């Protein structure tokens, strides 16, 4: 296995996925197979190759500093699971 069950659990936690115990084995197997496929990359000599983050060699366009947005809170919160007094609600956050 290219990835262990413990690593799968750790990754699931990092990705905030409530991995159920009965899923760990299948995910470990599938992810290992994918990593085996990916492992083909290892054989390639990439010394001195510039990583390619974007398909096109362009630079960032900049926006003028102008306020263009208006208040649409009601419309945007219409799709929210839970709000009160204009705030999004989540279980109590302890800092």
Partner 1 sequence: MSDPIHSLSLKKLRDGIHAGNFSVMEATDAYLERIANFNEELNAFITVTRDSAQAQAVEIDNRIRKGELDGAMAGLPYALKDLFCSKDVLTTCGSNMLRNFVSPYDAHVAERLKAAGGVLLGKNNMDEFAMGSSNETSAFGNVRNPWDTDCVPGGSSGGGAATVAARLAPVALGSDTGGSIRQPASFCNITGIKPTYGRISRYGMIAFASSLDQCGPMAPSAEDCAITLNVIAGLDARDSTSVDRPVPDYTATLNDSIDGLKIGLPKEFFAEGLNPQVGAVIERAIKEFEARGAIIKEVTLPNSHLAVPVYYVVAPAECSSNLSRFDGVRFGHRCENPQDLKDLYERSRWEGFGAEVKRRIMIGTYALSAGYYDAYYLKAQKIRRLIQQDFAEAFKDVDVIMGPSAPTTAFKLGAKKDDPIAMYLEDLYTIPVSLAGLPGMTFPIGFAADGLPVGMQLVGNYFEEARMLNIAHQYQLSTDWHTQVPAKFA
Partner 2 sequence: MEWETVIGLEIHAQLATKSKIFSGSSTAYGAEPNTQASLVDLGMPGVLPVLNKEAVHMAVKFGLAIDAHLAPRSVFARKNYFYPDLPKGYQISQYELPIVGIGHMDIELEDGSIKRIGVTRAHLEEDAGKSLHEDFQGQTGIDLNRAGTPLLEIVSEPDMRNAKEAVAYMKKLHALVRYLGVCDGNMQEGSFRCDANVSVRRPGQPFGTRAEIKNLNSFRFIERAINHEVERQIDIIESGGTVVQETRLYDPDRNETRSMRSKEDANDYRYFPDPDLLPVEITPEFIASVRATLPELPEAKKQRFITQYSLSTYDADMLTQSRDVADYFEAVAQGCGDAKLAANWVNGDLSAALNRTGIEIANAPVAADAFAGLLKRILDNTISGKIAKEVFDAMWNGEGDADSVIDKKGLKQITDTGAIEAMIDEIIAANPKQTEEYRAGKDKLFGFFVGAAMKASKGKANPEQVNAILKQKLAG
Binding site for partner 1 (CB under 8 A): 3, 7-8, 11-20, 27, 30-31, 33-35, 37-42, 44, 46, 49-56, 58, 60-61, 63, 72, 75-76, 78-82, 88, 90-93
CB of residue 13 to partner 2, shortest distance in Å:
8
Q: Provide Rg for the chain, Cα atoms.
A: 22
3 binds, among partner 1, partner 2, none (CB under 5 to 8 A by kind): partner 1
Q: Which of residues 12-31 bind partner 2 (CB under 8 A)?
A: 14, 16
Whether 64 contacts 58, CB under 8 Å: no
Rounded CA-CA distance 37/43 in Å is 12
Give the relative orientation of helices 5-14 and 21-38 as an angle to the nearest 10 degrees: 100
Residue given tokens 């947005």 in the structure block: 69
Q: Does 86 bind partner 2 (CB under 8 A)?
A: yes
Q: Does 60 bind partner 2 (CB under 8 A)?
A: yes
Whether 89 contacts 82, CB under 8 Å: yes
1 binds, among partner 1, partner 2, none (CB under 5 to 8 A by kind): none
């Amino acid at each position: 296995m290219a990835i262990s069950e413990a690593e799968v659990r750790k990754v699931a936690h990092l990705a905030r996925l409530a991995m159920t115990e009965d899923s760990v084995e299948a995910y470990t197997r599938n992810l290992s197979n994918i990593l085996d496929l990916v492992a083909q990359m290892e054989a390639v000599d990439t010394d001195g190759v510039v990583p390619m983050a974007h398909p096109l060699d362009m630079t960032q366009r900049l926006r003028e500093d102008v306020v263009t947005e208006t208040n649409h809170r009601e419309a945007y919160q219409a799709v929210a699971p839970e709000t009160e007094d204009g705030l999004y609600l989540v279980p109590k956050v302890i800092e």
